[in-house]
Structure 1
Amino acid sequence: MSEPSGTTARELFDEARRELAESDAAIREHPFLDRLRAGEITQHQLRALAGEQHVIVSSDRRSFAQLATRFSSGLAGEFFLTMAEGEGTALGKLGTFADWLGMTSGDFRMHEPRPEAQAYPSYVSWLALNGSRAEVALAFLTNLAAWGANCAQVAAALRASYSAPDDVVGFFEFFATPPPDFESQALAVVDEGLSCGDSPLRARRAARLLQAYEQMFWDACNERPKGDGP
């Protein structure tokens, strides 16, 4: 076990946010959101969005369960278990969005994921097997603001430009409003890891990579799937 670095979770979080300010802005101002507000995102693209999210949330749920098992003692175990439970809740809400789009469970099974969209959960799976508690908690804490802001924008655009009812946008609103104690709990997990010798450098690296994969997801959503009409 390495010696504690002396860095606090708050210091590490503030540093990561400064380092990722540019990518955070790029995600929040992604062209996909402009096109969604303008009603230019096709039904095919919305179905692809639902399909990609079904793969992502299902994978992340298993990854968080794996992390809860790896770090079963201390603060981290309960934190990751709560995150796994949250992904389960999100899956149910995603089903309502899919129903509105006329999708079935068979459509989910037949959906062909895009590599760019699935880089995010693939990295989360890697972290679940190889990452420290500080790496995972900092990465998600840093990424949460951009992801949550975009989910809020998607929900608003679906209402305004696609006449989506409240229950249909529930999946996006779920992520747009994280639990009020999420930040304090995540910081506590990062501090716990740092006190046990988790590397601050690796934690910042995890935050940078997860943020980059998040941007790749929105890039993929902005592309038209093969076979999409005019």
Structure 2
Amino acid sequence: MVSKTSNDMTSELFTDCLNAEIDGLENLKILAEAMNIDNRKMDLYEPLSGCQAYTNYLTKLAVYGSDAEILAALLTDLPVWGYNCGKMSSMLQKNYGFDNNSCVFLDSFASALPKEFTDKSNELILSSIISPYYEKDIHTATGLILDYELLFWDTLYKHSIINQ
């Protein structure tokens, strides 16, 4: 996403997203350790297609979508993702004795998006809507990303009850 942006401001926004993902990956290791998921278990993990759909769609947007489509999808979905992460963190802490450190991955996403990020993103999105065609593409991107978000959580739920 960063390499194909149309301007410096968008490049900065996407770099912020990349840095959050890098931090998230490090924090995910802490959560995995708290759940007794070691490297061997990770190596043996078989991906669930319903959980992969979101990232595959976001990758498609990163390669083929406009800056506005990507930013609109992120602005629309990240609060939903964050809310769900916050709920999961609360449940893990309340019901399973996880501590704040073990839930740092979830809690970092549960925080509101920085105002500067949302303001700049909205400015770029609005400036790119130069015809109904672009508006439709943005609408499609935001709708699909939410559908894939729901599919992710539904897939986790489905597989959690199957394996009980």
TM-score by length of 2: 0.90
1:206 and 2:141 aligned? yes
Q: How many Å separate the matches in 1 of 2:137 and 2:85?
A: 28
- In 2, distance between residues paired with 1:196 and 1:129? 22
Structure 1 match to 2:74: 140
RMSD: 2.1
CA contact (8 A) 2:68 2:128 kept: yes
Q: Superposed, which structure 2 residues align to 1:1-230 within 5 Å?
A: 67-71=1-5, 73-181=7-115, 182-194=117-129, 199-224=134-159, 228=163, 230=164
Query: Aligned partners of 2:138 and 2:157: how far apart in 1?
Result: 29
CA contact (8 A) 2:79 2:113 kept: no
Classify 1:186/1:106 alpha carbon distance in 2 versus 1 (closer, same or farther; 3 Å).
farther
Distance 1:153 1:91, change over 3 A: same
CA distance in 1 between partners of 2:153 and 2:113 (Å): 24
In 2, Cα distance between equivalents of 1:200 and 1:75: 21
The residue identity in structure 1 corresponding to 2:67 is: R
How far apart, CA to CA, are the structure 1 residues paired with 2:38 and 2:112?
A: 28
Higher relative contact order (CA 8 A, sep 6+): 1
Residue 144 (structure 1) shift: 2.0
Task: Write out per-residue CA displacement over residues 68-96 of structure 1, whole angstroms, 9 at most, x where no aligned residue.
Answer: 10016331111001100100000111100
Structure 1 segments, 4+ long, off by >6 Å, are none
Give 1:189 shift: 2.7
Give the deviation of 1:112 after TM superposition.
0.8
Identity of counterpart residues, as a percentage?
Answer: 25
Instruction: State how far apart, in whole Å, the 1-side matches of 2:106 and 2:50 are.
Output: 20
Compared CA separation, residues 163 and 226, structure 1 to 2 (3 A): closer
- TM-score, normalised to structure 1's length? 0.66
CA drift of 1:156 comes to 0.6
**Which residues of structure 1 form unaligned runs of 5+?**
1-66
Displacement of 1:149 in angstroms is 1.0
What residue identity is the alignment partner of 1:209?
Answer: L
Deviations 1:146-171 (A, max 9, x none): 11111111111111001101111111
The alpha-carbon deviation at position 145 of structure 1 amounts to 2.1
The equivalent residue for 1:8 is: none
Q: What stretches of structure 2 of length at least 5 have no aligned partner?
A: none
User: For residues 11 and 133 of structure 2, what CA distance do their matches in structure 1 show?
Assistant: 16
**The structure with more helix, counted as a fraction of residues:** 2
